[in-house]
Chains A and B, each alone.
Chain A
Amino acid sequence: MTDLATYNFAYLDEQTKRMIRRAILKAISIPGYQVPFASREMPMPYGWGTGGVQVTAAILGPKDVLKVIDQGADDTTNAVSIRAFFQKVANVAVTTKTREATIIQTRHRIPEEALTAGQTLVYQVPIPEPLRFLEPRETETRKMHALEEYGLMHVKLYEDIARNGHIATTYAYPVKVEGRYVMDPSPTPKFDNPKMHMSEALQLFGAGREKRIYAVPPYTDVVSLDFEDHPFEIQHFDKPCALCGAEQVYLDEVVLDDKGGRMFVCSDTDHCEDRREHGHAGHLLAQQEAAE
């Protein structure tokens, strides 16, 4: 019992890494197709990023620089935990700077700054099957993908419009990859969908509990599903970031008091800090500086 905890580089044994790398290669070869893989029990719970962690562990090398974000932020507890995990088991360099990272593991956001060739974005995916809430059976949904039978999804989006006047999907908004597979972009807000299209970076998706890996290779068509008369639209915010003044970025709403006071700040903390370092200031920051 004394030699309990001797783990390989990046935790997983080499056999497992090879198995995962094969799944990744297959996923890259068939963009948007969900490749089953023998997901392992990881030392963090299912649903907390085990898929992403396994993908990262399989592709991570000693020279990589890793960034981990959750909700766009480097300092959310789960991002901190996963980053610390890889520091511990792989002794790898970590960063919060998007442009310095070679691998970025993310939950629920794509960084605001455009990713570049050579970077890999690893998504944590809870439910990889975009058709799951329309058809709970895996045996059925696999058939639907094989036959390219996506009518059900269009009917769902149509019914949204008929009932609410809007497509009521605001995150995990389904996309079609390279004109073939309908894919779940993971629960990122639909705001981020356009960033997936023709991205220079490799995008890998890992779903640990559901045992699936899928991928969007660089320079791949990623089109959000829509209708001619109801084109796909991203969210727009009325105000810029209160701290850095950024517009056209995704904002978090922060409740300031119990009287309905709110402020909106960048969800991407690195982007926000970078802008502030370069002298940009939102109205709240400017106000505070004036007061000092």
Chain B
Amino acid sequence: MYVAVKGGEAAIANAHQLLADRRRGDRSLPAISIDQIVAQLGLAVDRVMAEASLYDRELAALAVRQARGDMIEAIFILRAYRTTLPRFGMSVPVDTAKMKIERRISATYKDLPGGQLLGPTFDYTHRLLDPSLLTDEPVAEPLRRTADENSMMRVSDILAGEGLIEGDGQMPEDHVPGDLTREPLEFPLNRDLRLQALARGDEGFLLALAYSTQRGYARTHPFVGEVRIGEVEVELDIPELGFAVSLGPVQVTECQMVNQFQGSAKNPPQFTRGYGLVFGQSERKAMAMSLVDRALRADEFGEDIVAPAQDEEFVISHSDNVQATGFVEHLKLPHYVDFQAELDLVRRMRAEYDARNGVEKNDTIRDAAE
């Protein structure tokens, strides 16, 4: 006798209890602390902050722990919290020329004002498993330089001196930057909204798209003008005060990609730019973002749109991993009502097909009572 499946509530509660158990793991080991995650899994925390669009290391670390290290789940948890926060204002644009630089490299100049600063990078490490990390061996203090008070010239400014690169561009005086977390997107987008979407877009998706442009699907002849990582001040205009006050520093990664451009009827031959800016330290994301940003500007430069990376609706509609994972994973929700409808149709069409082809009816559906 069939009994309708009951007790969903108890099953869900038990599943969550089991999840909590698996999250905690072996009780004989100490639990990992939020401080430890912030300090030792910093790049995971950075990615969660970037793609959740919320700069808060402790909350991001909490999300990482709660998600058992599943990055997209952690991003989702943090975003669901972010969306409940009121938006009380808009910051003044951050000035990355005034960044307190921890790393800054350029691939277009051997040396340049401010120099090349390698900073904490995986580059040039040999990817050999390091047995010393199996235990907690003492780590030497890093070398430090005295902070340079002068702002560090951006590579785009160097090229701009010769007029060989497009400028920063001008927005109309009364332009209010869009906010895709508060207004539904409407295609085609302005570049501000597009950059916003890319900044919170999935690192893996943007990486693959950026890679595709390098392999000939919308080639953009890119050079890393510069990548810089460091802290910038976030300032907020307070109307009552009449001046901007600092809210504190955030760490960001900025990438200026310099791309060759042949010129068009409207524009002289010059270098064009793709731009990437993300919270925390994430060169891969910032670089991928800048490549995709440049590819998406095809329309602006009158380039033929021939590849996925140039297609704004395609890229932006599918770059959000929280949306993507939700919809892909919703397929595991029950769909038996719709499946029943399909089953009925396929059975009917199959019966007609068999009748046409003289196949004898094979009645596989027996009634339960038989």
> In the complex, how many residues of chain B place their beta carbon closer than 8 angstroms to a beta carbon of chain A?
61
**Shortest distance from the beta carbon of B91 to any chain A beta carbon, whole Å:** 20
How far is B311's CA from A139's CA once the two chains are assembled, in angstroms? Answer: 12
The residue that B337 contacts in the complex, of A48, A239, A250, A262, with Cβ under 8 A, is: A250
What separation, in Å, do the CA atoms of A15 and B87 have in the docked complex?
A: 11
By beta carbon, the residue of chain B nearest A47 is B330
Which residue in B59, B81, B188, B325 is a CB contact (below 8 Å) of A139? B188
Whether A46 touches B326, Cβ cut-off 8 Å, given contacts A1-B58, A80-B9, A139-B313, is yes
Our count of residue pairs bridging A and B at CB distance below 8 angstroms stands at 168
Restricting to B188-225, which residues have a CB under 8 Å from any CB of A? 188
Known: A37-B184, A75-B8, A253-B340. A263 touches B334 (CB 8 A): no
Binds B, one of A115-123, A148-156, A160-168, A194-202: A160-168
Question: Is B90 part of the contact surface with A, judged by Cβ < 8 Å?
Answer: no
Cα of A32 to Cα of B185 in the assembled complex, Å: 20
Identify whether the interface residues of B are mostly helix, strand, loop, or mixed. helix
Report the stretch among A55-63, A177-185, A280-288 that lies at the interface: A280-288
Report if A267 contacts B (CB, 8 A): yes
Say yes or no: is A42 at the interface (Cβ < 8 Å to chain B): yes
Asked if B84 and A108 sit within 8 Å, CB to CB, the answer is: no
Judge whether B341 and A171 touch: CB under 8 Å.
Answer: yes
Assess the A108–B2 pair: CB atoms within 8 A.
no
B4 A81 Cβ-Cβ under 8 A: no
Assess whether A133 is interfacial by the CB under 8 Å rule.
no
Counting CB contacts under 8 A, is A91 at the interface?
A: no
Give B45 Cβ to nearest chain A Cβ, in Å.
15
Q: Indicate with 1 or 0, residue by residue over B176-190, a CB within 8 angstroms of chain A CB atoms.
A: 000001111111100
Whether A262 contacts B368 in the complex (CB less than 8 A), given A41-B83, A170-B342, comes out as yes
For residue A26, CB closer than 8 A to chain B, the reply is no
- Whether A36 and B333, one on each chain, are in contact in the complex, defined by CB atoms closer than 8 angstroms, is no
List residues of chain B with CB within 8 A of the CB of A262. Answer: 365-368
Residues 324 to 345 of chain B near chain A (Cβ within 8 Å): 325-330, 333-338, 340-345
Tell which of B7, B79, B349 touches A166, judged by Cβ atoms closer than 8 Å.
Answer: B349
User: Is B24 part of the contact surface with A, judged by Cβ < 8 Å?
Assistant: no
A235 near B327 with CB under 8 A, answer no
Answer whether A78 and B80 are a contact pair too, CB < 8 Å, given A1-B58, A45-B326: no
In the assembly, what is the distance between CA of A77 and CA of B86, in Å? 32
Once the chains are docked, how many angstroms separate the CA of A164 from the CA of B4?
Answer: 35
Inter-subunit contact B8/A71 (CB<8 Å): no
Evaluate whether A253 and B343 lie within 8 angstroms (CB atoms) in the complex, with A211-B185, A283-B369 already known: yes
Which chain B residue has the least Cβ–Cβ distance from A43?
Answer: B80
Instruction: Report Cα–Cα, A13/B183, bound state, in Å.
Output: 16
Residues of B within 8 A of A37 (CB): 184
Task: Evaluate contact between B187 and A81: CB separation under 8 angstroms.
Answer: no
Q: Is the CB of A41 within 8 A of B345?
A: no
Looking at A15, A108, A191, A259, the one whose CB has the most chain B CB atoms below 10 A away is A108
Whether the pair B327, A254 counts as a contact (CB closer than 8 A) is: no
Q: Assess the B182–A77 pair: CB atoms within 8 A.
A: no
Those 10 A-B pairs whose CB atoms lie nearest each other, nearest first? A46-B326, A47-B330, A45-B326, A170-B341, A47-B327, A36-B184, A263-B368, A80-B8, A211-B184, A47-B326
Offer 16 A-B interface pairs, CB within 8 angstroms, sorted by A.
Answer: A36-B184, A45-B325, A47-B329, A71-B337, A73-B4, A75-B8, A84-B9, A109-B337, A170-B342, A171-B341, A189-B338, A242-B2, A242-B368, A250-B337, A252-B337, A284-B369
